[in-house]
Chain A
Amino acid sequence: MDILIYGTINSIALAIMALGFALVYGISRVPNFAHGALYVVCGFVTWSLLRGLGLNYLVSIILAMIITGVIGALIYQFVLIRVRGMAISEIIASYAIGLAILEGFRWWGFKGMTYTLPVFVEGSINIGDIPVDLHRVVIVGICAAVVAFLWLFTHYTRIGLALRGMAQDERAALMLGIDSDFMAVVAMAFGSMLAGLAAVLLLPLGNIVVEAGYNVLILAIAVCIVGGLGSWMGAVIAAFLIGFAQILTVAYWGAHYQMVVALLAIIFTLILKPSGLFGRQKELEERV
C-alpha cells in the first residue's frame, strides 16, 4: 500500500521534472541540457525573493517562475537558435550553459544545506493507514492541474495550436504563417517555467543544492527517452514506469540503486527501441 502511494507521488514528481524537457524537445527539437540548471535557478531565485527581499511566498514563486521563463527564452534567443539543427552543437552549447549556471551558483556561495524552502501546507493526513505529508498531496493536485492545463492550452488556444502544429510538421507550420523561431522561444520559456514549477514544488521536500540540477537533468532525460523523445503523454506514462521501478528497487534492494535504475532505463530503451514507448520519430532517423 505504501509502495502504491509513494510510487504514485514519486512518479508524479518525475513527470513534472520531465515535462519541460519533453515540451522543448517536442517543439523545437533542441535537447535542452540546461534543464537541470533552470530548475536550480528557480529554486534559488525563489529563496532569494522569499528570504532576501522578504516577499510573500506565493508572489516570490510566481516571480521566480517568470524570471526562469525569461532566462530560458534568452538562452534560446541568443545561443541555441544559432546552433539549431546541429545535434552536436546543440548538446554541447546547452550543456555548457547549464554547467556555467550551476557552477556559477556554486562559486557564488549557494552550497551546503542551508537553503530550504518552506512547505506549502504543514501537517499530514492518513490515506488508509499510511501517513502522507499534505505537501505531497498538494503536489499531486497541482501536477494534475498542470497536465490538464497544458492539454487544454495546446488544444484550444491559438499559441497552443501553433506549438502543436510546429511539433508535428515544422515546414507545413511555416507555410501556414507560424513564426517557428518565435514559437520555439515560447516553447523554451514554457519549458523553463515548467522546470521552475517542478523546483518550487519539489524543493521544499529537501534542500536546494547545486547537485540537484544534475540529477534532475538525468531523470528528465530518462523519462523522456523511455517515453519517446517529443511525446508528452509518453513522458507521463514513462514517469510512472520509472517512478514505480525506483520505489520498488528502494524497497527491495536499497537506496543506492535508485539512480542506477534511471540510467539503465535510458541505456536499455535506447538499445532496444530508441524511439521510446510512444515516440513518433521514424526509425531511420535515429538508427541505421
Chain B
Amino acid sequence: MTIEERRKERLDRGIKVRTDGIYAIMSLRELSYLTVPRLVLIVGLLILPLVMPSMYWQRVISIVCIYSLLALSFDFLAHFLGLVSLGGAFFIGTGGYIAAILNTSFGFPPIFTIPISTLLGAVICTLLLLPCLPLRGVYFAIVTLMYPLVLARIIEALNVLGGTDGIYGVASFANRWIEQYFVILMVLLFLFGMRRLVNLDIGLVFRAVKDNDQAVRASGMSITFYKAIAVFIASAMGCLGGACLVHIYMWSGISQFALDFSIIPIAATVIGGAGTLVGPVLGCFILVPINELLRAFGTFRILIYSLILVAFIILRSEGIMVYGQRKYHQFERWVKI
C-alpha cells in the first residue's frame, strides 16, 4: 500500500506581496503588475468598437454591455448582499418602459430620458421590492423571479402601455459611435465604481449583512435600510441598461420582461467567476457573442448555454476569473507530506 501522499501548495508570488503596500511604486515592474490587467480591460473595451467588422457586431457590443450591467448588479446583490435576485428582467423592463414613455409621450431626448429613467426606475424597483427584502435565499429568488412575469402579464391583460405590441417610435441615439461608447463607458464606470464601493465602509456592512445579519442588527444598524440601498444601486444599473436597450432598439415591449434578461447575466456570473465583479463582465463578453453566433440554430443555443451553465456549476463553480486571478497572484507546486 504505497499511496504517494502529496498535496498542492499554493503560495503568493513575491511581486503580489510587494504590490499590496506602498512598495508598489518601487519600480516599473511592480507598477505594471498592478496596472497592466486593468489597462488591458479598459483599452480593450475602448478599441473594441473600432475593430468590429460590421454594424451587426457593433450592435452586439452594445447588447453585451447591457448584459454586463445586469450581470454586475446580479453579482453585487448575490455575493455582497446575499440577495439572489432572479429579476434582472424586472429592472430592464422598468427602466425601458419609463424611458420609452418619457420619450414618446413627453418628447424628452435620450440625454434626459436615460438619467431620469435610471433614477426613477431604481426608486420604483426599490419600493416594489421593499416588502420582500426581509426574505432570504430561495424565497427572495422566487419572489424576484415572479415580479417580471407578473408585470408582463398585467400589461398584457390590462392592455396598457401598448399592450402586447409595445411602444414604438422611441428615438435612437444620435449615431452608433455615441451609442457604443456611452454603454462601454457606463460599464467601465460602474465596474470600477462598484469595486471601489465594496471596499468602502458601506461595503463592509454589505458583506456583514450577507455573512451574519444578526450581528449587523446587534450593532444597531438596520438591515433593511442597507439592503434597500444596495437594491437601489443594483436596480439603477439594471434600469440604465433597460433605458439604453430601448433607445437602441427604438422599441419597448413585454419581451423586455422575458427570462433572457434574468438568465444570461446569471450564467455569465457563474462562468466568469462569482464575487469578483470583473468576472460577470468577462462572462458576458464570452456568452453573448456565442449566443449571437448560434442564433441561426434557433432554440438550440438555449440548450447549449444551459448545458454550459450546468457544467460550470458542477465542475468549475469558481469561474474563469477566480481561476485566472489565482494563477496570476500565486504559484502552485506539489509537496510531499
Q: Report A's interface with B, CB cutoff 8 A.
A: 31, 79, 82-83, 87-93, 95-97, 99-100, 103-104, 106-107, 218, 221, 225, 254, 256-257, 259-260, 263-264, 266-267, 270-271, 274, 285-288
Contacts and interface: CB of A to CB of B under 8 A. Distances in A.
| Contact size range, B | 35 or more
A270 B140 CA distance: 8
Nearest to A272: B131
B139 A92 contact: no
A286 B142 contact: no
Contact of A82 (B86, B135, B214, B314): B314
B134 A287 contact: yes
A99 B156 CA distance: 24
Contacts of A264: 150
A91 B84 contact: yes
B34 interface: no
Interface string B311-324: 00110010000000
Contacts of A225: 142
B204 interface: no
Contacts of B313: 83, 89, 92-93, 96
Contacts of B134: 287-288
26 contacts: A31-B142, A83-B313, A88-B78, A88-B141, A91-B141, A92-B266, A93-B309, A96-B307, A96-B310, A99-B306, A103-B299, A106-B298, A106-B299, A107-B297, A107-B300, A218-B146, A256-B156, A259-B149, A260-B154, A263-B153, A264-B150, A267-B147, A270-B135, A271-B132, A286-B136, A288-B223
Contacts of A106: 298-299
Interface in B179-224: 213-214, 217, 223-224
A106 to B, nearest CB: 5
B306 A87 contact: no
B223 to A, nearest CB: 5
A259 B135 contact: no
Given A88-B78, A106-B299, A285-B136, A267 B150 contact: yes
B21 to A, nearest CB: 35
B51 interface: no
Contact of A263 (B131, B149, B263): B149
* Residue among A88, A218, A254 with the highest chain B CB neighbour number at 10 A: A88
Given A91-B86, A256-B157, A285-B136, 10 more contacts: A83-B313, A87-B84, A88-B78, A96-B310, A97-B306, A100-B302, A263-B146, A274-B139, A286-B135, A286-B136
Contacts of A96: 267, 306-307, 309-310, 313
A91 B314 CA distance: 13
A234 to B, nearest CB: 15
B150 A286 contact: no
Does more than half of chain A's interface fall in helix, strand or loop, or is it mixed? Answer: helix
B231 interface: no
Contacts of B101: none
Given A89-B317, A92-B270, A288-B213, A107 B303 contact: yes
B282 to A, nearest CB: 18
B138 interface: yes
Nearest to A263: B150
Contacts of A97: 306, 310
Nearest to B308: A96
B143 interface: yes
B137 interface: yes
A83 B314 CA distance: 7
Contacts of A99: 263, 302-303, 306
